Amino acid sequence: MPNEGSYEAALKRSNEIHADLPVHPEKYTMLTGDRPTGRLHLGHYFGTLVDRVRMQDMGIKTNVIIADYQVITDRDTTEHIADNVYNMVIDYLACGLDPAKTMIFTHSAVPALNQLMLPFLSLVSEAELQRNPTVKAEQEASGHALTGLLLTYPVHQACDILFCKGNIVPVGRDQLPHIEQTRLIARRFNERYDRVFPEVAGLLTSTPLLPGLDGRKMSKSYGNSIDISMSAEETAKLIKKSKTDSERMITFDPEARPGVSALLTTAGICAGRDPEEIADEIGDAGAGALKRYVTDAVNGYFEPIRARRAELERDRGYIRDVLADGNRRANEIADATLAEVRAAMGMVY
Ligand code: TRP
């Protein structure tokens, strides 16, 4: 028996739930989200957006939080935040999230969600907070002092998940420590007071991680990611200037040829083809031919999504309404859960 909190245990739970989702969609409430720090890119799209839309269309209750308070965990500014939030809603809708089925909302508009932070903080120890490996890594990467909010944001994420009684949370592997923290908080609350919260599981994505165009981790700061919102021309330009190597023969070899292989992986996922097969087809036509192939594959795939995006962009009023409606529904749910929490704690006067 692997230890409950281990990666193996999380993977096993995740696989079991993946298999059960189409059989018992009514059992599941999904919550996941994004920090509105910039535009969503192809990594987000293939890594999670596709799955969110699939779950939404299966009849699972789906909730997506735009985690605006999480933006200031490791930076000093909220510059561009409103613009990032609106563009995130536009990306979601363009990619197929349907606001009639999926509740889309922000932290800052849902006070009762945030109030859960107080009882939840009482359920965790400083040592637990300090040893979260993801928090440590994020603090180091930010080059910023460890703020109280960064230290405690896994608890805030537990609030995001539990306010709507989410029981499945699609996340990347790096977020698993937070899911474990959420499981502990729910369990401790239920034991100490009354059974209010469900058992939560992280759902690991089945798609392998899409590398950035240079083969490194896809990241805005490396300039190696293709945003959903880019035009076909911007996409072509970015692919054109991506780094390959001097070997003319195109082969798929992520270790030795990270640039060429990342291009093949990107083309493969967009064209629904095996990267090795694309490599064989291009053969000794060289990097120029490969880049033309990738550009066509990406732009072909995203053409309808970008067309929808352009239409949505022209209608800010509608985007604002979608968010206002999501926020209104989230407040109803959060108010009801907070009332239950206060009742369980005997804090009703
Ligand atoms: N931290 C997550 C990320 O950076 C975003 C997020 C915020 C989230 N709240 C959440 C994810 C709750 C899952 C559940 O990707």
- Ordered mean pLDDT values, 10 residues apiece, the chain (349 residues): 81 95 98 96 96 97 98 93 98 98 98 98 97 94 92 98 98 93 98 98 87 92 94 98 95 96 97 97 97 98 98 97 98 98 98
Pocket test for ligand 1, best of 70, 73, 85, 219 (most atoms within 8 A of CB): 70
pLDDT at 6: 87
- Quick check: 65 and 160 in contact, CB under 8 A? yes
Which residue do the tokens 């401790």 mark? Answer: 188
What Cα–Cα distance (Å) separates residue 300 from each residue in 164, 239, 293, 342? 37, 14, 10, 52
Burial class (CB in 10 A: 0-12, 13-18, 19+), 68: buried
> What is the Å distance from ligand 1's center to 153 Cα?
10
What Cα–Cα distance (Å) separates residue 116 from each residue in 46, 343, 348? 32, 13, 15
> What is the Å distance from ligand 1's center to 208 Cα?
19
Please report the domains of the chain, with CATH numbers, ordered by start residue: 7-207+318-344 (3.40.50.620), 220-313 (1.10.240.10)
What 8-state DSSP symbol labels residue 165?
Answer: T
Pocket test for ligand 1, best of 14, 30, 44, 65 (most atoms within 8 A of CB): 65
Rounded Cα distance, 116 and 341, in Å: 8
Rounded Cα distance, 197 and 167, in Å: 9
pLDDT at 172: 87
Nearest atom within ligand 1 for CA of residue 170: 13
Rounded Cα distance, 6 and 17, in Å: 17
> What is the Å distance from ligand 1's center to 10 Cα?
17
> What is the Å distance from ligand 1's center to 30 Cα?
12
H helices, E strands: number in the chain:
15, 5
Dihedral over alpha carbons 75, 143, 136, 224 (to 10 degrees): 80
Burial class (CB in 10 A: 0-12, 13-18, 19+), 199: exposed
> What is the Å distance from ligand 1's center to 250 Cα?
38
- Quick check: 261 and 253 in contact, CB under 8 A? yes
pLDDT at 221: 82
Rounded Cα distance, 274 and 245, in Å: 21
- Copy the structure tokens of residue 332: 């109803």
**Which residues approach ligand 1 with their CB closer than 6 A?**
31-35, 65, 67, 70, 157, 160-161, 169, 171, 175
Rounded Cα distance, 220 and 230, in Å: 13
Coil, strand or helix: which one is 195?
coil
> What is the Å distance from ligand 1's center to 157 Cα?
7
Nearest atom within ligand 1 for CA of residue 160: 12
- Quick check: 174 and 141 in contact, CB under 8 A? no
Pocket test for ligand 1, best of 40, 51, 155, 175 (most atoms within 8 A of CB): 175
Rounded Cα distance, 114 and 157, in Å: 10
Burial class (CB in 10 A: 0-12, 13-18, 19+), 242: buried
The residue nearest atom 3 of ligand 1, judged by CA position, is 34
> What is the Å distance from ligand 1's center to 209 Cα?
17
Pocket test for ligand 1, best of 31, 171, 178, 180 (most atoms within 8 A of CB): 171
pTM of the prediction?
Answer: 0.96
Rounded Cα distance, 78 and 36, in Å: 10
Angle in degrees, 0-180, between the axes of helices 81-94 and 286-313, rounded to the nearest 10: 100
